Chain A
Amino acid sequence: MKLSLKIWRQDSFDSEGSMISYQLDDVSVNMSFLEMLDLLNETLVQKGERVIEFDHDCREGICGQCGMMINGRAHGPLSNTTTCQLHMRSFKDGDTIYVEPFRATAFPIVRDLKVDRKGFDHIIQAGGFITASTGQPPEANSILISHQVTEAAFDAAACIGCGACVATCKNSSAALFTSAKITHLALLPQGKLEAAGRVISMVDQMDAEGFGHCSNTEACEVECPQEISVLHIARMNYEYNKALVFKT
């Protein structure tokens, strides 16, 4: 099929960007969206032009490195799908596709569609872990955890850190990302001891990074490739308030 592409090009954080038009023929419906961009880049190399920079790695939906706004939606038209798992069969011959980077104050643009998501690392550094140095742990089965609690913790732990939640949120809030880690660790008996300190520190860091507040539009859940539930945000608020009440 034939496509018109309008793609955001920006040299660096400090320079001005704009949408540039490209035409692409011979796109197969079996291609992934990123393979379509590979094809476009191959034509740019042939023309002697700088290629379109975009982040990607595993191309199987798990590493979280890819991500772009496609026709205004984080990771494109399908719900709960990463950009790399989007295939061209979701588009029609003759379509015009708008491609932009994930935009947020806390995700500065590096070049073209590449953004810097270091803020997420900083939030985890603020407390998104269980203090358990190598060599310390007890026998694994000495910590009993019910099937249901494990599954609920897993649902939260499944976050791949792609940033679609931030990009789609009108406030650029990182509440879904942060709350998923808080829930994962707070539900498990191993993580409960540090829960109060963790939630306060991570929420403070989230604010310090320049992410916005959550106003419960629930847009994040729709775009999240791992279907992380907004109920985790409710738990984060609960854990946060609990921590403040019991703070001594």
Chain B
Amino acid sequence: MILDAKIPAGELAEKWNNYKKHAKLVNPANRKKFDIIVVGTGLAGASCAASLAEQGYNVKSFCFQDTARRAHSVAAQGGVNAAKNYKNDGDSVYRMFYDTIKGGDFRSREANVYRLAECSAELIDQAVAQGVPFAREYGGYLNNRSFGGVQVSRTFYARGQTGQQLLLGAYQALMRQVSLGKVKTFTRHEMLELVVIDGKAKGIIARDLLTGQIERHAANAVVLATGGYGKVYYLSTLAMGCNSSAIWRAHKKGAFMSGVSWIQFHPTSLPQSGEHQSKLTLMSESLRNDGRIWVPKKPGDDRVPKEIPEEERDYYLERRYPAFGNLSPRDIASRAAKERIDAGCGVGPMKNAVCLDFSKAIKEQGKEKIKEKYSNLFTMYEKINGINAYEQPMLISPAAHFTMGGLWVDYRLMTTIPGLFALGEANFSDHGANRLGANSLLQACVDGYFIAPYTIPDYLADEMKAEKITTDHPAFAAAENEVKVQLNQFLQMKGHLSADHYHKTLGKLLYDKCGLSRSKEGLEVAIAEIKQLRKSFYKDLKITGDDKVNSELEKAGRVADYLELGELMCYDALTREESCGAHFREEYQTADGEAVRNDQDFCFVSAWEWKDKDPGHELHKEPLVFENVALTVRSYK
């Protein structure tokens, strides 16, 4: 199968304009004849749903949380990038495009990345108009800070709550459309199946998590904005409910998955402290603006970090990457931390952490200034660990965080199933093999506010004459039946192991074998073990409770999908015989441990097709063509 990304013609800087010039339109009077389903109410989902409703379409918005405002976009702390060049420090759309494509280790599409940078400035305008309280200077102008992997200050922020504030802007826009009757919200609903009719996405099957009712919903187009699947590792920075089920079930209905093994480990998370742990709390990357990262020079140093004298500390990021230092990109910083921890230099009770030290910044700028910038993060740190980070270094460690991979989409954000769109972290599109800090909020917003509102009408314009599908169609009955069969199967399982047990076991396996570093041998072991684990799951799983409110039943469905997705992650990592971005294959590295990319053989995006057999997946390739940038060795030295 030839994957056509449908990149518009013309010069790089003209492509998006050219697309918009030729995109088909739907007459305002006809828009109310179209129903659109948007699954997910994070930044991508809420902004898309609100923007389409503003145009006049009927939108049904789904989320599993109790209200749309809780989607995991809220947790992004540090900021959102935009090429406004307010700091007059050399920024431009092209510079931002270049930083992003280089940050992604040249594994993303030029045209998509350029569009992301191009639309960034308008997002700041939109958010400010909605009342997002971005940080301001005393003269009243917007303020910026810098983030990892770039040498300009282009990050806009709202204390340590940028994601929360941006999401409230989108949520409030969504609530306005609810009040106007253009959006109907289905909270505490989980999408469990995609309905495909004559090759096109025509609806979903959802479960009402309060009543257990299985519902059919028909639409002219379906948008998945369901976020990332980093929770596959169990321990991650993600919310407990984040899951892959919507995209995975769409995948099994024909949507290809791309870059599945490209998963970012965030370098500044809190380390694991015990077996009971359910999540790894993130400390914003913005802390790296003022915090210095170090470990003791001597392996096995048991002293309390603040008692280790200056000359016995190894500021390994400053040492290895002097040009970017503590602001090196996430993949580099995480891998460097793992290297030191593996070398026995880790600190903390489990020797699994590194120090993030603010003593120099406090000395230079004063405690008050540091407090103003990061007080909520320092408070959070103290709540969790009982340690005052103004007085001693924070202990941090890399944790699974963001999935660059996701559903394959073309330039219009449409998957390989016509009428099915994927937005935000749920798609693979803009970040290549590694995402730069403060680009995820941006991508989610740009997809939802500015891209989908052009591309979805472009698709719908051709659907005007299509037959109106209702939920009586046999395809709905078949999809509903599949869902019910699976749920009944789970409810009847009286084994002896909980869904969490399988989730934790899978997560640990993936951390070890398909985490910060991977090898052929390890991945092959992991694939075999996951197959075993899946067999055991369908034999020994135990579910209690009824078919109404039942969090164990919800978890079982999600874990069942993870057990298939995890295997595909390993295949994706196994077949990519190079190191690029977050994907580090031990066989492909330089003598001093830097990644070795192979542009000759691997300058493509993987696109996996589900096959209902063993091994279950077929690899397609979308070649990446670079016409504007030279593929260089990505150096931050």
Taking beta carbons and an 8 Å cutoff, which residues of A are in contact with B? 12, 28, 30-32, 34-35, 38-39, 41-42, 44-46, 48-51, 53, 55-65, 78, 81, 85, 87, 89, 110-111, 114, 116-118, 120-121, 124-126, 128-141, 143-147, 150-151, 153-154, 157-158, 160-161, 184-185, 188, 190-191
Q: Is the CB of B72 within 8 A of A190?
A: no
- Expressed in whole angstroms, the Cα–Cα distance for A133 and B74 within the complex equals 21
Taking beta carbons and an 8 Å cutoff, which residues of B are in contact with A? 47, 50-51, 54, 65-70, 72, 74-75, 84, 86, 122, 124-131, 133-142, 158-159, 161, 164-165, 168, 171-173, 175-176, 178-179, 185, 187, 210, 239-241, 273-274, 276-279, 281-282, 380, 383-384, 386, 449-450, 453, 494, 496, 498, 500, 542-546, 548-552
- Expressed in whole angstroms, the Cα–Cα distance for A51 and B358 within the complex equals 43
- Expressed in whole angstroms, the Cα–Cα distance for A157 and B165 within the complex equals 7
- Specify which of A53, A78, A121, A190 is in contact with B175 (CB 8 Å cutoff): A121
Chain A residues with CB under 8 Å of B384's CB are 32, 85, 87
Chain A residues with CB under 8 Å of B544's CB are 44-45, 48-51
Q: Is the CB of A45 within 8 A of B498?
A: yes
Q: Tally A-B pairs: CB < 8 A.
A: 219
Q: Is the CB of B172 within 8 A of A128?
A: yes
- Expressed in whole angstroms, the Cα–Cα distance for A128 and B68 within the complex equals 14
Chain A residues with CB under 8 Å of B498's CB are 42, 45-46
Chain B residues with CB under 8 Å of A184's CB are 131, 133
Chain B residues with CB under 8 Å of A136's CB are 129
Of listed A44, A57, A65, residue having the most chain B CB within 10 A:
A57
- Expressed in whole angstroms, the Cα–Cα distance for A218 and B634 within the complex equals 56
Q: Is the CB of A63 within 8 A of B74?
A: yes
Chain B residues with CB under 8 Å of A55's CB are 66
Q: How far, in Å, is B620 (CB) from chain A's closest CB? A: 34
- Specify which of A30, A34, A158, A190 is in contact with B129 (CB 8 Å cutoff): A190
Chain B residues with CB under 8 Å of A140's CB are 84, 124-125, 127-128, 134, 142
List 9 A-B residue pairs with CB atoms under 8 Å apart, sorted by A's residue number: A45-B552, A50-B544, A81-B383, A134-B450, A135-B126, A137-B122, A137-B128, A140-B128, A150-B133
Given the interface pairs A87-B384, A158-B161, the reply to whether A130 lies near B130 with Cβ below 8 Å is yes
Nearest A residue to B135 via CB reads A150
Nearest B residue to A136 via CB reads B129
- Expressed in whole angstroms, the Cα–Cα distance for A137 and B135 within the complex equals 18
- Expressed in whole angstroms, the Cα–Cα distance for A108 and B127 within the complex equals 34
- Specify which of A34, A59, A111, A145 is in contact with B136 (CB 8 Å cutoff): A145
- Specify which of A58, A78, A158 is in contact with B239 (CB 8 Å cutoff): A58
Nearest A residue to B138 via CB reads A147
- Specify which of A34, A56, A65, A130 is in contact with B131 (CB 8 Å cutoff): A130
Q: Is the CB of B140 within 8 A of A147?
A: yes
Q: Is the CB of B67 within 8 A of A121?
A: yes
Q: Is the CB of B551 within 8 A of A153?
A: no
Nearest A residue to B54 via CB reads A133
Q: Is the CB of B380 within 8 A of A85?
A: yes
Q: How far, in Å, is B309 (CB) from chain A's closest CB? A: 29
